[in-house]
Amino acid sequence: MNTTIPFSGFYYSMHEDEIDRTLENLVSDSSGCRPISDRIASNLWGHTGDVSTEYARAFLADFQILFNSETGLSVAFEWDALDSPRAYNFSTDRIFAKVSAEHVTAMYSKVNHSILDRIAEKRFTSCSGFISHYSPDVATWGELEEWDHNQVGTLVEALVSQFLPKEWEWNVIEDWSGSGIVDEWVYAALDEEGKRLVKIADYLRQREERQYR
């Protein structure tokens, strides 16, 4: 079965900040406080390749560990895709995963149904500017094995709300900060021109350091 997982996306989020911080570090001066070249820094952002997919894959893997640890379940979330909107007016990036029907049943047995009802009502109640294609009443959704990615994703979100701390999303990525792992993803994702810009920044930084010795 298909599902989404809770994810705040890459637009004005902690995840965008993490990637931006890494890009800034790649072309910073010796102090690490400013770019070694404003021109290099501004050009680099257009050569980041598919780093968001690598980041999202790792996020899903670590989310699974945290989710199972907090809920006491053993759900296997298999990577499916990262979907990014053409514009961020009404939606953000979504991570899709596959999960067995058996594990969906286990999650449904574990969830507090009042929380599930509340999350469903919040997500699927039509309002001004939004017409929902789903009923906000979970009782009308039919057989569990027929639920689609949005309905199973609502179940996952309800369990997250029930069991995980409010800062859970930051907890998923906090070990990445300072570990160098995001730096590796970002550099690996750079295209040929992006890597050339980083080499130029490295040369300018080394030259700057020699001047102050």
User: What is the pLDDT, as a whole number, of residue 212?
Assistant: 67
Q: Which of 11, 83, 14, 22 is nearest to 48 (CA)?
A: 22
Sequence-ordered list of residues with C-beta below 8 angstroms from that of 109, at least 6 positions apart, any chain = none
User: What is the pLDDT, as a whole number, of residue 45?
Assistant: 83
Reported as a single tens digit per residue, the pLDDT across 104-127 is 999 999 999 999 999 999 999 887
| Type of residue at 160 | V
Reported as a single tens digit per residue, the pLDDT across 151-201 is 999 999 999 999 999 999 998 888 887 778 888 888 888 999 999 999 999
Helices (H) and strands (E) in the chain, counts: 9, 3
pTM of the full predicted structure? 0.86
